[in-house]
Amino acid sequence: MPQATEMMRGALSAIGGVKGLDVPAKKVSGWVTAATRATPVKNLLSGSWLGHQLHPMLTDIPIGAFTSATLLDLFGGDDTAAASRRLVGVGILASAPTAMSGASDWSDTTGEDRRVGLVHGAMNGVATVLQTVSWFARRRGHRGLGAGLSLLAMGLTLGSAYLGGHLSFARGVGVNNTAFQDETTEWTDVAADADLGEGTLNRVDVDDVPVLLVRQRGELRAISAVCSHAGGPLEEGALDENGCVTCPWHGSRFDTADGAVKRGPASVPQPRWDVKVEEGRVLVRSAG
């Protein structure tokens, strides 16, 4: 097992180090960005309405369908031919929204993560093509050929799933960057009220947790200053007339009143902080 683990790590390192992938990755990413430019589209594919990323949830459907079809091919009788063909069809149909949500998430990555993600997507794409050819072969009565193609596709799918797991759990792509911030229940003095101008973005630290202070139409608001999507510094972003701050890294937009996501790729709201002013000093604490 240790040797196999080292081999897999070596493969990941090799893929991540292929700078030649940057050219096609940049081109494909540009296409995806253009296709998801509209806020409703980006929010739908990012899972901003769901509370976490949409892509991981959708992957269960095609992988489950393809796996079930292969199991029927291997262990089922002739009477399962129709069922396995239908399962392959379900997997093919489910692959489209799964790929779209994954591409949307991937388009906001960079460097090694973008290279590994490109290979991840390409492997899934080839696997889906093989499954499609398998479906047509099955429909023409060539179950043996269809089963062989599906088995080959499953090998690619498993390899791609390993890359996806690496991106999520080893590299932290898509992980909520505010999930492990400590909460502060005591009111903490962070700034002088007079120093906070109207419409400005101000970062303060509360027990090493960055907090964004904003005065909007005279009202003080506070949310965590680290973007939940990829850790971008919100104090370096832009504040609009509606009190929403846009992350400078990937364009996620949050309402400073309650931390709600107004535009993806972020899918998790920003933690909100309570604010009050006493004797000219601004005090904050984690919202209950």
Q: Which amino acid is at 182?
A: D
- Measuring CA to CA, which residue among 267, 269, 263, 270 is closest to residue 54? 267
pLDDT > 90: what percent of the chain?
A: 94
How far is the C-alpha of 7 from the C-alpha of 202, rounded, in Å?
47
Question: Whole-number mean pLDDT of the chain?
Answer: 95
Give residue-wise pLDDT tens across range 149-196.
Answer: 999 999 999 999 999 999 999 999 999 999 999 999 999 999 999 999
Is a pLDDT exceeding 70 seen at residue 112? yes
pLDDT at 281: 96
Element containing residue 64 per DSSP (H, E): helix 55-75
Among the residue ranges 1-5, 167-171, 230-234, the one predicted with the least confidence is 1-5
Confidence bin at 226 (pLDDT 50/70/90): very high
pLDDT of residue 2: 67
| Residue from 178, 174, 172 nearest 254 by CA | 178
Instruction: Please state the rounded mean pLDDT for residues 76-90.
Output: 97
| pLDDT, position 140 | 97
3-state secondary structure 85-135: HHHHHHHHHHHHHHHHHHHHHHCCCCHHHHHHHHHHHHHHHHHHHHHHHHH
Using CA atoms, how far apart are residues 26 and 89, in angstroms rounded to an integer? 32
Q: In this predicted structure, what is the pLDDT of residue 288? A: 73
Tokens at 2, concatenated: 């240790």
User: What's the pLDDT at 7?
Assistant: 78
Predicted pLDDT of residue 4: 66
In this predicted structure, what is the pLDDT of residue 1? 56
Q: What are phi and psi of 134, to 5 degrees?
A: -60, -45
User: pTM to 2 decimals?
Assistant: 0.91
Cis status of the peptide bond prior to 265, with omega within 30 of 0: yes
| Over residues 265-286, mean pLDDT | 96
Q: What is the pLDDT of residue 6?
A: 80
Q: Each residue of 121-158: pLDDT tens digit?
A: 999 999 999 999 999 999 999 999 999 999 999 999 99
Is residue 168 exposed (0-12), middle (13-18) or buried (19+ Cβ within 10 Å)? middle
pLDDT tens-digit series, residues 4-43: 678 778 888 899 899 999 999 999 999 999 999 999 999 9
Q: Give the bridge partners for 215, in sequence order.
A: 198, 220
